[in-house]
């Protein structure tokens, strides 16, 4: 475990542990974004930048390497990324950050005190180019741990061993407080933090009456109506219809937003992509058979 010392110049040796961990899997560079002297620093390797902490530079590094030199002020976007060696979060609440991280099932490789809150990094066994999955996981980790939800794979983070030069930070030292280099992960280890896949159902609108025997039609309508009220949050209208959620998935839905149900016919009407849903289809979707409710299949809902 590496630990940062209190002095800026004296802390270079131990804080270099973090920089070498991040760049151990490939040759990387960091971008200097500001400094006390107003020089034009450009791009430097980690050791060079860390050695200049005594000059009171405020510095950030792109966690993912870039495909080209973007110059002093440009951090680049997702289209400029080459490889991502780690997942990460930025938790500004210093009172809860270490508690959340201590109880987390996937302990981070490194924890950095930024001068205000904490940054946590999970080093990957192999740097990834799957930036879409990594971005989803970073957002999922932020939501789970109370971190900054705006972070992305293209994020620049404050560099260990440099000063936090933001107003009100009193030039606090950005220091490494935990480092376990043996902790390496894969994206699959964090699969539970990715959003569930959205199911898209496409079906032609019903154009003919459903072949339901008249003798059992009313019993089926009554059972479907009850299911619409209880499972689809139905709300009766004065026009003989019920405003409800659609029994087929939508990214965003609420009662009446996409769907209306006829009390007279037992048909549903989706104003979105699903069109008319006849009585037999409504029975199948809501688990109604022979007038008995078997149970609405929640897997169809988002």
3-state SS of 51-89?
A: CCHHHCCEEEEECCEECCCCCCCCCCCHHHEEEEEEEEE
> CATH 3.90.580 in the chain, residues?
214-300
Residue 96 in 3-state DSSP?
A: helix
The yes/no answer on whether domain 214-300 falls in CATH 3.90.580 is yes
CA distance 8 to 49: 13
**CATH placement of domain 12-193:** 3.30.70.1790
Q: Are 230 and 218 in contact (CB under 8 A)?
A: no
> CATH 3.30.70.1790 in the chain, residues?
12-193
66 burial (CB, 10 Å; 0-12 / 13-18 / 19+) is buried
Residue-wise pLDDT for 38-68, tens only, equals 443 344 455 555 555 544 566 777 888 888 7
Q: How many CB atoms lie within 10 A of CB 5?
A: 15
Least confident of 11-15, 16-20, 181-185, 207-211: 11-15
Residue-wise pLDDT for 210-237, tens only, equals 566 676 788 889 999 999 998 898 999 8
pTM over 0.75: no
Q: Which residues of 98-128 are buried (b: 16+ CB within 10 A; e: fewer)?
A: bebbeeeeeebbbbbbbbbbbbbbbbbeebb
DSSP-assigned letters across all residues of 169-198: STTEE-EEEEE-TT--B-GGGGGGGSPPPP
Residue 286 in 3-state DSSP?
A: helix
Phi, psi of 90 (to 5 degrees): -125, 110
């Amino acid at each position: 475990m590496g630990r940062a010392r209190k002095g800026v110049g004296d802390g270079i040796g131990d804080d270099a542990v973090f920089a070498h961990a991040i760049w151990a899997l490939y040759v990387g560079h960091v971008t200097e974004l500001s400094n006390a002297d107003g020089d034009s620093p450009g791009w430097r390797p980690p050791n060079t930048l860390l050695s200049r902490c005594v000059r009171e530079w405020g510095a950030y590094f792109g966690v993912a390497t870039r495909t080209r030199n973007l110059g002093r002020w440009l951090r680049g976007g997702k289209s400029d990324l080459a490889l991502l060696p780690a997942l990460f979060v930025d938790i500004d609440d210093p009172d809860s950050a270490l508690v959340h991280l201590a109880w987390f099932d996937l302990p981070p490789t490194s924890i950095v005190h930024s001068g205000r809150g904490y940054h946590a990094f999970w080093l990957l066994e192999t740097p990834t180019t799957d930036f879409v999955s990594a971005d989803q996981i970073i957002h999922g980790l932020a939501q789970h741990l109370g971190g900054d939800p705006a972070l992305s794979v293209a994020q620049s983070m404050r560099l260990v061993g440099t000063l936090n030069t933001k107003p009100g930070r009193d030039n606090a030292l950005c220091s490494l407080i935990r480092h376990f280099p043996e902790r390496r992960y894969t994206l699959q280890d964090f699969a539970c933090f990715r959003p569930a896949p959205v199911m898209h159902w496409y079906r032609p609108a019903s154009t003919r009456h459903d072949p339901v025997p008249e003798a059992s039609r009313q019993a089926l309508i009554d059972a479907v109506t009850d299911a619409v009220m209880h499972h689809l949050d139905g709300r009766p209208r004065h026009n003989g219809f019920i405003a409800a959620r659609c029994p087929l998935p939508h990214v965003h839905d609420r009662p009446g937003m996409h769907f209306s149900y006829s009390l007279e016919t037992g048909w549903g009407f989706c104003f979105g992509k699903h069109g008319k849903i006849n009585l037999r289809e409504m029975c199948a979707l809501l688990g109604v058979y022979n007038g008995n409710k078997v149970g609405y299949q929640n897997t169809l809902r988002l």
